[in-house]
Copies of this chain bind each other. A is one copy, B any other.
């Protein structure tokens, strides 16, 4: 099946939103009762609700349902900040509310104040997994998925074993909550002893990162949301990366971005670059956007924040934007063949 069959609503090369062109209607369990219990237990008066971009539109209805159940004197507040992961908590709202509910992502780090509501998918992955088998000819297979499908992870593993596979799974590092879970910035769960990995989940955002991080493995995408099976192809991305590195080789003035989002900061990395390069300038911001960087007269940028902004949105910026590893290549500290995906470790 061709990649086009995935029904991407986004333009080619822009893979940020591929998970959002849904063929199936999804029903989510917002775990209202667990939230209400916590509100009552803490006698909370201000409650913050944060949804990822694709679900923000559901926010008011969830607030309605909670209002109907909660004591009258509770004020619910919806976060209007962009949100792209558990790395991206609305810390302003969190500080100013008694209970803060973060929907759609698994905990990157637990806190008494935060309720994480995972929003598990109700999609049945097994029919598409059946189709994916023909792309998995070897006996050993890795299995990974996203937070949305974690509720079925053990069943998926068992199913594959029933098909005769030796299934390799792993809990990544402490940035990840669950065994077999991947994030857009971390594929440590695929550091397993198999040359083929089955990714089960919606869209290509995660499996393309996985394939960039593990270029030696065949990454089979089983997408039960859009009903497609494909094999991850990173060629376009890798060409963009090499292109960006080469264009940045002549740069004199470097903007070094330190992202202020709670789970996207790598301060030592940013400070080291600035300390060692007198033509480097430290720039801090939360949302890293083309508009904001256009204000700075730099020849190139190094992004120590979210690697997916660099990799996926890179071509939209007016000057080359590199990951910290790519920067080392561009300034001559490392050879070109060390170019690799920028994995993000740790929490905050």
Contacts and interface: CB of A to CB of B under 8 A. Distances in A.
B75 A271 contact: yes
Contacts of A292: 80-82
A328 to B, nearest CB: 20
Given A80-B283, A80-B284, A257-B80, A274 B75 contact: yes
A348 interface: no
Given A53-B295, A260-B92, A281 B81 contact: no
Interface in A63-100: 63, 75-82, 90, 92-93
Q: Is the interface of A mostly helix, strand, loop or mixed?
A: mixed
Nearest to A267: B96
Interface stretch (A54-62, A122-130, A208-216, A338-346): A54-62
B79 A282 contact: no
A182 B204 CA distance: 52
Interface in A280-295: 281-288, 292-293, 295
Contacts of A260: 92-93
B90 A284 contact: yes
A217 interface: no
Contacts of A199: none
A253 interface: yes
A77 B76 CA distance: 36
24 contacts: A56-B296, A57-B295, A59-B281, A59-B296, A60-B281, A60-B298, A76-B281, A77-B258, A78-B282, A78-B283, A78-B296, A79-B283, A80-B283, A80-B284, A80-B293, A80-B296, A81-B284, A81-B285, A81-B292, A82-B292, A92-B260, A92-B286, A93-B260, A287-B287
